[in-house]
Each structure stands twice: as C-alpha cells, then as structure tokens.
Structure 1
Amino acid sequence: MVLREVDNEFTIDCLLLAGRIMIESGAETYRVEDTMLRMAHSQNMLDAQCYTTPTGIIFSLGKTQPTRITSISNRVTDLQKIALVNSVSRRLTSHMITLEDAYDELKSIQKTNYFLPTYIQVISAALASGCFLIMFKGGWSDFLFACLAGGLGFLVLLMINDLTKVKFFSEFTASLVVGSIAVFAVKYGHGTEIDKIVISSVMPLVPGILITNAVRDLMAGHFMSGMAKGAEAFLTAFAIGAAIAVTLSF
C-alpha cells in the first residue's frame, strides 16, 4: 500500500510538471487538461480529474488520494516547449517510453531556454515591423522608421519586463518609445504617415496568441480561463493604446 502511494505520488508529480510547463509556455487550458488526462490514463489512472486555470492546476485521483495543487506565477509564449511536452505525452501514451523517462525529459524541457538570443529577437521585431508597414500599404520612406520604432520598442519591453516583472508597465513603456519615435520622425520631416508607422511598430507587442487562446478556451467551454486570458489581453491592448494616446496628445 505504501509502495503504491509512492508510485502514485511520482506519477502525479510527472503529470503536474507537464501541465505546469504547458501553462507557463502559453498553452490553451483544454490542451493542458487533455494532455494530463491522457498521460494519467496511460498509467491506468482512469478516475483522474484535472481542473486548470491560467494561475493554477488542481489534480485528483479520486477519494482515496489527496488532491494536489500547483500554482502558476509566470507565463510566456514558448511554442517550442508546448510541442516538446506534447511529443513526450504522445510517446508515453503509446508506451514508447517509461514514466521515469518522461519525467526526466520534462525536467530537461523545463530547465532549457529555447528562446533566441535577445539581439535576434530585437532584429526580428524590427524587420517584422517594417514588413507590417508595407503590408498596411505604407510608403517605403517610412520603412526604416518602422523598423527602428519596432526594434527599440521590443528591446524596451524585454528590459523593463526583466527589471519589474510587471507586464502592463513594460508594454506601456515600450509603446511610449514606439509612439515617440513615430512622432519625432514625422515632426522633423523624415517620416510621412505617423499612423502607419505606429500601427506597424506596435504589432510585435500585440498579444495575438493570447487572444487566440482566449477564444479557443471559450469555444471549448472553459469560460473562466477564457475570460481570464481575455482580460489579460485587454489589459495589454489598453496599455498599448494608452501609451500611444499619451504620446500623440503631446
């Protein structure tokens, strides 16, 4: 009986680790619950139940086992980790690997940083902003200013977020930088269309995946998670809009 409880504890640790990685990497709520339950069923835990929110996971094996809870404090967008956890889950449910192997792989995934270096992220944001400008039918004369505003804005976002860990403040400050560059570029005759520069430069800051996940969770019936993610996306959009409005008002 004691050995069985130890086995169950290890299994739950593995399942909670998988769910935690997915939530922290920006996965949809229904995907997290489905992954954890599939992994549990592969270990003959047919009575397993899971309740997931953007800030925590509650997992239970039934009346005979204590309910386990893990809290989630940090969330980013890392699709690579989500894909890797899904791969581990599929191989575990297909009995291609053991639970111990799955746990070791999940620990490795959790510890590994799959993000590109900061300078590559900034360059990518700058080029994306310039490409958005052309897509929005802006002039080539504004291309460099859109790249400059988008790149510097994204760099400020990363720096402020590392210093304060306050998402709203980092997005507000980054948008202030974007708006200021666009205003000065047009004011001194170097740029032509301030609206196109601003819109294209804030695109790397827009929470597109968060909005998509909120809608998908709502469609899947996870109303609490969908509303929570929708509120977070609204705050991000409000921070961007407020910063641009403050910049243009001056």
Structure 2
Amino acid sequence: MIETSQVINTCLLAGRIMIENGSEMSRAEDTMKRIATNSGISTLKIFATITGIIISIPNSTNSQVEEIERRAIDLEKVSAVNTYSRRYAEKEITLEEFYQKLSTLDEATPFFPFWLQVLGAALVSGPLMTAFSGNMVDLGITTLTGAFGFIIFYFINRILNIKYISEFVASIVIGIVAVLAVRWGVGHSVDDIIIGSVMPLVPGVPLTNAVRDILNGHLVSGPARGVEALLSACAIGFGIAFVFRFL
C-alpha cells in the first residue's frame, strides 16, 4: 500500500516544478490531483499560489506546505512532469520511480544550450520586426541586436539574480545599439530595430498565464502574475526611455 506522505511529497514536488517553470495554476493542480487519484487518493485538497502550495488529505493528519522561491520559463520541464504523470497513470513507473525522476528533473540544467537560446532570440527578433513593420532593410541589424540584448539579459540574470534589473539593463543596451546603428548608417529605423530586438525579453508567457489563471478563477495567482509581467514590461520600457532621454 502506498503511504499518503509519499503521495503528498510527489504531488508537492510535481506542482512546484510546474509552477516554478511557467505552468498555469489549473494545469499544475490538475496534475497533482491526477497523481493522487492514480495513487488511490481521490480526496486531495490543494491550495496553490505562485509563492506556495498547501496540500492536505481529509480525515488524515498528513498536510504539508511547499514554498516556491523562484519563477522562470522552462516549458520543457512542465512537459516532462506531464509525461511522467501519464506514465505513472499507465503503471509504467512506480511512485518511487516517479519521485526520483522528478528530483532529477528539478536539479537538471536548462534543456536548451546557451548558443541555441541566443539563436532563438535572434530568429525571434528580426522576423517579428519585419512582420510588424514590413521593414526588410533592418532585418540583419535587428537580428544581431536582439541576440546581443539577450546575451546581456542572460548573464546579468546569472550574475546578479535580481529580477527586473536584467530586463532594464538589456533594454538599455538594445536602445544604445539601435541608436548608434542608425547614426552610423548601419540601420534605418530606430523604432523598428528596438521593437524587434526587445521581443525576446517581452513577458509573453507570464502575461498569458495571468489571463488564463484569472479566467479559471485563480483570483490570487492571476493578478499576481499580471503585476509581475507588468513590472517586467515597465523595466523594458524604462530602459528604452532612458536611452531616448540621454542619447
């Protein structure tokens, strides 16, 4: 017979990994409830926010809290948790194996290597700028500026680990490069270059999750995520405004 404490620990770990890496609340809660149901516990009670998870079982003394200290975007980890959950539901793995796989996943490094992330940022910047403005002339410089801005964002995040500072500094660098590129004749439209280059920094997933959480009735997590996305957008905007003010 599976111990309830083991079920709760597995549910908490799965939920924390999903919320930390960009899952909406409804998906994380559904996954935790499915794990409990497949373990023979159909009465699991969950209270989840973006800063913590509380799980309890009625008529039982087992109740635990899991703190969520960081939030990032790594949908590969979210997908992996769902995959392990389906394998557990189909009895391909035991609960102990499920928990071990989650522990390994929790400590895993990002799935995509750094160079591929930079390449992705570059491919997002240039084509989106062209799609928005129809400007083909600045495609190359926007692609390079977007990649360079993402590199700055990535390393500041790793060194300082202070939220919003990385977006602010990266947007300043993007603005400076865009202005200098136009002044030196390499680019033609400062606005178009900046619009495309900041796209890898825009908090699209948090904003989408905020709307989905609100629509699903999560009136604590939804607005909190919305404010978080708004602050990121403000950091980007302030960085660009700083460049326009002094250059």
Q: What TM-score results when the alignment is normalised by the length of structure 1?
A: 0.93
Q: Give the Å deviation of 1:138.
A: 4.1
Q: Does 1:241 align with 2:218?
A: no
| Mapping of residues 9-158 of structure 1, within 5 Å | 9-158=5-154
Q: Give the Å deviation of 1:115.
A: 2.8
Residues in 1 aligned to 2:123 and 2:63: alpha-carbon distance in whole angstroms: 48
Unpaired stretches in structure 2, ≥5 consecutive residues:
none
Unpaired stretches in structure 1, ≥5 consecutive residues:
none
Residues in 1 aligned to 2:39 and 2:123: alpha-carbon distance in whole angstroms: 47
Q: Give the Å deviation of 1:83.
A: 1.0
Say which is worse superposed, 177-186 or 99-108, in terms of deviation: 99-108
Q: Give the Å deviation of 1:17.
A: 0.9
Residues in 2 aligned to 1:140 and 1:43: alpha-carbon distance in whole angstroms: 56
Matched position secondary structure for 1:75: coil
Q: Say if 1:23 and 1:54, in contact at 8 Å, map to a contact too.
A: yes
- State the match for 1:230 in structure 2: 226
Q: Give the Å deviation of 1:152.
A: 1.0
Q: Say if 1:129 and 1:147, in contact at 8 Å, map to a contact too.
A: yes
- Could you report, residue by residue, the CA deviation over 1:7-66 in whole angstroms, capped at 9, with x for unpaired residues? 221111111111111111110011111110111112222221011111111100124224
Q: What percentage of aligned pairs have identical amino acids?
A: 43
Pick one of 134, 150, 164 that aligns with 2:160.
Answer: 164
Match of 2:67, as an amino acid? S
Q: Give the Å deviation of 1:113.
A: 2.2
Matched position secondary structure for 1:146: helix
Residues in 1 aligned to 2:110 and 2:52: alpha-carbon distance in whole angstroms: 23
**Runs of 4+ off more than 6 Å:** none
Aligned length: 246
Q: Does 1:221 align with 2:220?
A: no
- State the match for 1:190 in structure 2: 186
Q: Say if 2:5 and 2:62, in contact at 8 Å, map to a contact too.
A: no
Say which is worse superposed, 185-194 or 86-95, in terms of deviation: 86-95
Match of 2:114, as an amino acid? T
Aligned-residue RMSD, C-alpha: 1.5
Pick one of 152, 159, 173 that aligns with 2:169.
Answer: 173
Q: What TM-score results when the alignment is normalised by the length of structure 2?
A: 0.94
Q: Give the Å deviation of 1:89.
A: 1.4
Residues in 2 aligned to 1:164 and 1:19: alpha-carbon distance in whole angstroms: 27
- Could you report, residue by residue, the CA deviation over 1:78-132 in whole angstroms, capped at 9, with x for unpaired residues? 1111111111212223333321121122122222224322122112212221111
Matched position secondary structure for 1:68: strand
